[in-house]
Homo-oligomer: A and B are copies of this chain.
Amino acid sequence: MRLTALSNPCTAAAAALALFSCAEVAFARPSPEPKVPSRVQWSRNRGKKIARTVLQQSLEARQYSNTTSASCPETKATSITAPYENIWAGLSDGEAASVIAWLFGQPALNLTASENATAWDNTILLVELMIPNKTDAVAYIDSGAATPARYARVVIDNRATVDPYFQDLLVGPLPLNNATASYQPLEFPLTRKTEGKVRNVGADDDDALYSAWLYKIGAEMVDITMDLWGGSAMGADNDTLDIWGIDPLWQDDGRIIRWDSFWNTPNDIFDAETLLPLGLYFKSDVTGRDPSQWKLEGWLYNNIFYNTTEEFRAAYWSGAVEKLAANVDGTWAHTDQQGDVLPSDANYPPTTIAPSGSRFSLDYERKYVEWMDYTFFIGFSRDVGMTLYDIRFKGERILYELGLQEALAHYAGGDPVQSGTSYLDSYYGFGPYAFELVPGYDCPEYATYLNSTFYVDETTHTHLNSICLFEFTADYPMQRHSTSEYVANTKNTYFSVRSVSTVGNYDYMFTYSFYTDGSIGVEVRASGYIQSAYYTTGSDFGWKIQEALSGSMHDHVLNFKADFDILGTANSMQFVENVPVSRVFPWSNGKARNTMQLQRSTLTTEDEARFDWGVNSAKQVLVVNTDAPNKWGESRGYRVLPSFGAMHLTVKDSSNLVNAARWAEYDIQVTRQHDHEPRAAHAYNSQDVNDPPVDFSAFFNGESLEQEDLVLWLNVGMHHVPNTGDLPNTVFTTAHAGLTFAPNNYFDMDQSRRTVNMVRINYSGGSAAEVETFGQKAATCAVDFTPVEYDLWQYKGDVVVRKFPYDPNDPYYETDSIV
């Protein structure tokens, strides 16, 4: 029997998208909007005029070049039908188009199509599925109630006003019909009750900010920028400098203040701009929508503050200003191979193959997965990307929902730009940045890949192959034991689901893994370019890592929602801590013995429900159902423990964030589940940090947590103080963080005993007497091995499907480019 180890993700993609065959789709190119070198540039491009080149779908099938001499029918996941609908999967193309069409029919919204809109028009920023309330979802999946009514969540960018704001709307029910359809402010999931509205402090970022302000200042300073760095930042074609600054903007005293900095631009393809700060900063009051009323409030250079441009210029040309070195692009900032090639390195490194192909099943359309004893559904949204729902093991739900809530990168520095930067990445969104994965690199080549879609400008964009699913066998076993008579050993084959979101300079790799013992892993790794600081003001805030560069210290804090349902929704939190004791026993002759014991406690209310992992890893955190004892009387449950990078935000009461990221303050936070508290954060929390749409701390209002439906909000991350090893990119080896959920008295015994991928060898007299392989497949076969395994020339980027006007019988594709 011959098998090939090569998967054909295109097939999976085709099945999932169900819209195009595995044709030459070279017409689809990555959108320049979401894939940009830095966040600020996306923001800048958001309103730019896009030239669309519409290409017809090619129907000529193109095979992958590395087909082998034998077909591989088992390679992709077996196609199955989910037991019920994926009510979290997102809107269909038709639903999204119908919502857009209907919204444009509502005169009160005063909408303008994105391609015609100016900064003073209202546009639709987002149309996606309103994730159903858990109450309704559970009634459907557990009790056979009707599918929850479908609604669209819509975000309108209301800019046709001097007080621009974002507004969340609920539109539905779907399918829309004129008799029942309505829109209403989507307020109930927010803690701030202002009809789903929050101001937009960057309404003019895309137009006026650069043309009427930043480039004007750049032009005004061109004498100095030319003198210092031989370049300009004034919106000219031959600019070699860039200007951008803090996020969120300062929001003190009713003013909107920004600090910006000059940056060198890379001279090659590499995305190195965040490594090229130039150390000149300026402060602007950009309150209001009239740039003529904006004020330049000072300059900072070499840690000296100048109140006005004139003051700085005078000092500069008087020679009183020390001219500092520039950070200039070079191979130190390039990720390509460098140095002599090591002798063996050009040989193939070890690689994992799947000789039986995929051993899991997938409802491609509904994104429902079955692997061994596990089942779950995959959801996907703009704000947080991939979320898993209804995770079951042996048919019993362990988690109703598991997914990212928000990622904070809180910088600190001696300069105002680093000090003022605290990215709340859901503002940019993890969905739009979940790019195509690189087979053989981001995931094993044999992985099955799914697409993800997201809304932009009345269209649904699709990122091909942006979610991967695969089994992997660890380099260590699940279990082993040796005696003088036998050795028993079980393979550790696990299943992972992964996506990567590159939000500006950083690539976040999210992986959920499932193990045969019932344990579940949540992992995030970070790579990509650091955002660095100019070195003069950096010594208290980082290492000097280049001529004029400081690694800019920052805390990455990522919050995950884990809505456990242990044998139903009524659950409790139990703590079991190892504590030292000195104790007299009936057998200790009256003497106290220094030993230890368990200290058990229960979390009673939300008043105590924000806490950290204990010192010395001594406190176990358990989610249990005290009404569901196992046969020995212990509560069945799962233990929650950090596997790496357990942490919370260092900064106390951050000046940058105020109330916008209260979720980052503790390692673990537990709330009673409410349909109106679905997410720890809101994408626009940065727009009003004092009074954000979702203030997480408001979730804590003393409710009982004993045998209630509990949600755990868990932080992981990394206190990152970049050193030279972060150049050119941070590497995944140490930049990772994770959590493990492990069964604790949940089953009667270890569940990994179910696998046949184990061996017992009995021996006697110096040789094996019995080799028990439990029915493992035993035939020998051959695998074709292609070293650059996947035809990477198939890598594409995203595909756009136009929605408005929309003709379901004539989908077509287009490619975006900036004009």
Contacts and interface: CB of A to CB of B under 8 A. Distances in A.
Given A740-B734, A744-B723, A346 B775 contact: yes
Most buried by B among A349, A355, A511, A742: A349
A146 interface: no
Given A337-B754, A529-B481, A724-B749, A641 B734 contact: yes
Contact of A774 (B74, B336, B732, B753): B336
Interface string A631-658: 0111000010101111110111111100
Given A594-B655, A655-B595, A753-B335, A347 B777 contact: yes
A270 to B, nearest CB: 8
Contacts of A650: 578-580, 596, 616, 618
Interface string A678-719: 000000000000000000000000000000000000000001
Nearest to A500: B480
25 contacts: A26-B767, A37-B483, A335-B753, A337-B775, A348-B356, A348-B777, A349-B473, A350-B493, A351-B353, A352-B352, A353-B353, A355-B785, A412-B595, A435-B487, A441-B759, A476-B511, A479-B730, A518-B725, A555-B596, A580-B651, A618-B650, A727-B750, A734-B742, A773-B788, A783-B783
A484 B30 contact: yes
A615 interface: yes
Interface string A484-502: 1111111111001010101
A21 interface: no
Interface stretch (A88-96, A130-138, A199-207, A298-306): A298-306
Interface stretch (A151-159, A235-243, A314-322, A535-543): A535-543
Contacts of A792: 759, 761, 768, 771, 773
A324 interface: no
Contacts of A518: 725
Most buried by B among A348, A620, A641, A749: A348
Contacts of A414: 585
Contact of A617 (B410, B507, B645, B795): B645
A593 interface: yes
Contacts of A101: none
Nearest to A30: B484
A743 interface: yes
Interface in A588-611: 588, 593-598
Interface string A354-395: 111101100000000000110000000000000000000000
A81 interface: no
A764 interface: yes
Contact of A416 (B555, B587, B639): B587
A344 B760 CA distance: 21
Contacts of A540: 597-598
Given A515-B733, A787-B776, A764 B342 contact: no
A110 interface: no
A496 B470 contact: no
Pairs of residues from A and B, 10 with the lowest C-beta to C-beta distance, nearest first: A29-B766, A35-B484, A347-B356, A26-B767, A344-B359, A441-B489, A28-B766, A349-B493, A348-B356, A544-B632
A431 interface: no
A747 interface: yes
A714 to B, nearest CB: 14
A647 B577 CA distance: 13
A654 to B, nearest CB: 6
A142 interface: no
A487 B795 contact: yes
Contacts of A567: none
A651 B28 CA distance: 63
A765 interface: yes
Which residue, A352, A644, A752, A784, has most C-beta atoms of chain B within 10 A?
A352
B350 A544 contact: no
B750 A731 contact: yes
A440 B645 CA distance: 31
A268 to B, nearest CB: 10
A475 interface: yes
Contacts of A25: 766
Given A350-B444, A723-B745, 8 more contacts: A28-B766, A346-B756, A412-B595, A480-B500, A630-B724, A724-B746, A781-B787, A782-B785
A184 interface: no
Interface residues of A, number: 224
A283 interface: yes
A347 to B, nearest CB: 4
A527 to B, nearest CB: 5
A32 interface: yes
A64 to B, nearest CB: 13
Given A347-B356, A732-B479, A754 B542 contact: no
B351 A355 contact: yes
Contact of A271 (B332, B341, B481, B542): B481
A183 interface: no
B731 A541 contact: no
Nearest to A444: B475
Contacts of A632: 543-547, 724
A256 interface: no
A612 B615 contact: yes
A271 B346 CA distance: 46
A458 interface: no
A528 interface: yes
A31 B482 CA distance: 12
Given A26-B766, A345-B755, A271 B795 contact: no
Contact of A480 (B354, B511, B528): B528
B344 A348 contact: no
Nearest to A447: B475
Contacts of A759: 438, 441, 788, 792
A456 to B, nearest CB: 14
Contacts of A612: 615-616
A517 interface: yes
A354 B351 CA distance: 6
Contacts of A785: 3, 353, 355, 780-783
B752 A724 contact: no
Contacts of A730: 479
A772 B634 CA distance: 57
Contacts of A304: 586
A495 B568 CA distance: 45
Nearest to A666: B616
A414 B595 CA distance: 10
* Residue among A269, A341, A482 having the largest count of chain B Cβ atoms under 10 Å: A482
A796 to B, nearest CB: 6
A509 interface: yes
Nearest to A764: B29
Contacts of A32: 484
Contacts of A786: 780
B544 A757 contact: no
B745 A545 contact: yes
B477 A441 contact: yes
A300 B344 CA distance: 65
